[in-house]
Structure 1
């Protein structure tokens, strides 16, 4: 697949661009098998305790292969150049002092491609100076764009201060006129000179506060500041696999830790799990999850009897779907402070740093029968699994969330070795 930025050795975002996709997948599969196979070896001579049995009694499911282009549903673009010549893309370097415009990047979905020119033109009319990383001067730092499969857009500007806010409030409707599918528009204030993109203050200027994204059993709702996987189809593959495992296990109760906007939680509910609790520290993500719950409740209330509308709210087993419950809290603090009986199943989808010693050790001693761990960084996955020696891997699946990179999402199903198969009364 041709990419002008790869050919020019300009874009560092896709180091495997140009490598045949089948080879990319094979390399990720080999690396993942090696990583999990290392669990059969002692972590050190001083600590010979055996971790979960990774090699035996362990099924590798077929890898989900992503589309190779037009799969990215979000763009995080540095704003560089000058007030009259805006560049949206990669940060300036010595070789490219004005930055690198990514309008032609083949990985973005079409709706994001179409948004580049109107956003650039509007910013140039706005007249706010792009933030200069070297001098720490200027106002406009980033443009963050998200798109759903219907082409609806969320556009966020990250500014150093509120100096240009009044002009933005008065003129952003011009951008909306040029982008009729623009649903959510907001301004984020990040005054610090740091690699952290977003600040704490988010000012939503549009009437709408969410765009919908596909989920399992219901639409998910994405608000400014909330996280959603960058590859929509791959995220569906992850949620579908979790729902499949839940149908096989038939748990009555489940927790979804680091739940984000609720993708796994709603997937578990659709699979017939009666009580699902999602926990996430990011408030805007929980707002989206609660909106999805409200939408489900409204659909149930509005369903005319006998017209079959309520069937859309049935689980895959034909049961009525119980709506998940969501809590805004730090996953580690919330779980380790619980006095309740542990659930039958826990799903964890932590950031790259993994669960860490405290939460993984708590899981090890919790008595929870089954765990689904979704990891984007296998180094920390292995570290966490070494702390959970009571669990063995029963199945694993790779989801190629990030084509043309070495990164891959890995889902593993874990079973406590002392657990007996659960007998369902259903």
Structure 2
């Protein structure tokens, strides 16, 4: 048994307890907590606390709103004062990258998520348990997603009961229904329900699906052909509209089950403004453009935008969004690392979590004066900068936007000048 005080946090937001020659990483523990660790497990070369007793609570602690806090893996920092969350995110970002940056808090810290993927298993329906790949928290609420979460889950459970569809077994890898994905347009009130299943619905099941989920403006059934533990399948529209809409400021975006869209609608406008403020000139290249989240917003402000994205469906959605908003933006399919970077004034990059890698060298060899790098992974940004971008660019300024309250994650917008 190890006792001590949490004096620092790990890069991924766990409390770090130093007891003699042992270092233990403690989920749900915060700076200043006096704790007693009762048992540990080894994971990825670290000792992780399985459970601990709080002997002396940190002054930074607050009462968590969700009854599932401490077990659910969604919100490790929900027991931490929100002002302290912001300060710690800025400190962690500076520790990893060496960059001191102002942080902007989320306008809402409850009910801000516009999507939730509820796993449906023989152990319950809800979200994954922290640190247990086979553990599922049988949810009754989720205050960070929606006030309607209890209704969504009640409907799901009643639907499964009536139809006899089997929930997925994480151990045996068998079952019919694996996930329920619900998306909400926070500013439009539109709802999309998408059931991810391992079999097609019969006519009778499809009818029951329509009846139970009649609250949804868009209703999809996605066929999942693999056993992978993720909410992906081949979507088929069962009822309603093929898209729901979300409106951020003066821009409307179409959302489809296969669309990636930033999860915090309320903080997204802060992120878009930060990118706009760092963008200069007339011609903008939106590399890794996705569904046009940045490109369409910038085009609405008079920039001439071209976007490159490897996913053909995302490109189709981006062009639809450009047309819907009547803006001068063209998006096309292409690999970022193979894109000739011509005469652009600013290049926006929002790479996947692994970072730019080879595409960083392409930017170095281009003549572009400024790069706006958007990232939710400071370690990937640091590698890109140290290995590639530093050869030609210096960091001018950075803004952090808290897209993910109650977690250690933060979105960064970094301005690089040649």
TM-score category of the 2 structures, normalised to the smaller one: 0.7 to 0.9
Shift of residue 296, structure 1, vs aligned partner: 2.9
CA distance in 1, matches of 2:135, 2:351: 36
- 1:239-267 Cα distance to aligned partner (Å, 9 max, x none): 11112223xx2x12111122222111022
Shift of residue 216, structure 1, vs aligned partner: 4.7
Residue 212 of structure 2 is aligned to residue 140 of structure 1: no
Larger helix share, 1 or 2: 1
In the TM superposition, 1:293-372 aligns within 5 A as 293-297=322-326, 322-333=327-338, 335=339, 338=340, 341-356=342-357, 358-372=358-372
Alignment length (residue pairs): 352
CA distance in 2, matches of 1:187, 1:332: 35
> Judging changes above 3 Å, is the alpha-carbon distance between structure 1 residues 345 and 191 closer, same or farther for their aligned structure 2 residues?
same
| Matched-pair contact (CA < 8 Å) for 1:66–1:400 | no
In the TM superposition, 1:62-211 aligns within 5 A as 62-81=103-122, 87-91=124-128, 99-149=136-186, 150-162=188-200, 164-177=201-214, 179=215, 182-199=216-233, 201-211=234-244
Shift of residue 343, structure 1, vs aligned partner: 1.3
In the other structure, the counterpart of 2:7 is none
**Alignment counterpart, residue 244 of structure 1, candidates 268, 277, 284:** 277
TM-score of the superposition, structure 1-length normalised? 0.76
In the other structure, the counterpart of 2:20 is none
> Deviating runs (4+, > 6 A) in structure 1?
92-98
Shift of residue 67, structure 1, vs aligned partner: 2.3
Secondary structure (helix, strand or coil) at the match of 1:342 reads coil
- Computed over aligned residues only, the root mean square deviation of the Cα atoms, in angstroms, reads 2.4
CA distance in 1, matches of 2:350, 2:251: 19
TM-score of the superposition, structure 2-length normalised? 0.78
> Judging changes above 3 Å, is the alpha-carbon distance between structure 1 residues 93 and 70 closer, same or farther for their aligned structure 2 residues?
closer
Question: Which structure 1 residue ranges, 5 or more long, are not aligned?
Answer: 38-53, 298-321, 417-426
> Judging changes above 3 Å, is the alpha-carbon distance between structure 1 residues 95 and 269 closer, same or farther for their aligned structure 2 residues?
closer
CA distance in 2, matches of 1:80, 1:244: 45
**Alignment counterpart, residue 80 of structure 2, candidates 19, 27, 31:** 19
| Matched-pair contact (CA < 8 Å) for 2:351–2:375 | yes
> Judging changes above 3 Å, is the alpha-carbon distance between structure 1 residues 172 and 371 closer, same or farther for their aligned structure 2 residues?
same
- 1:314-351 Cα distance to aligned partner (Å, 9 max, x none): xxxxxxxx421111333333x2xx3x623111111112
CA distance in 2, matches of 1:234, 1:188: 29
Question: Which structure 2 residue ranges, 5 or more long, are not aligned?
Answer: 1-63
CA distance in 1, matches of 2:83, 2:321: 37
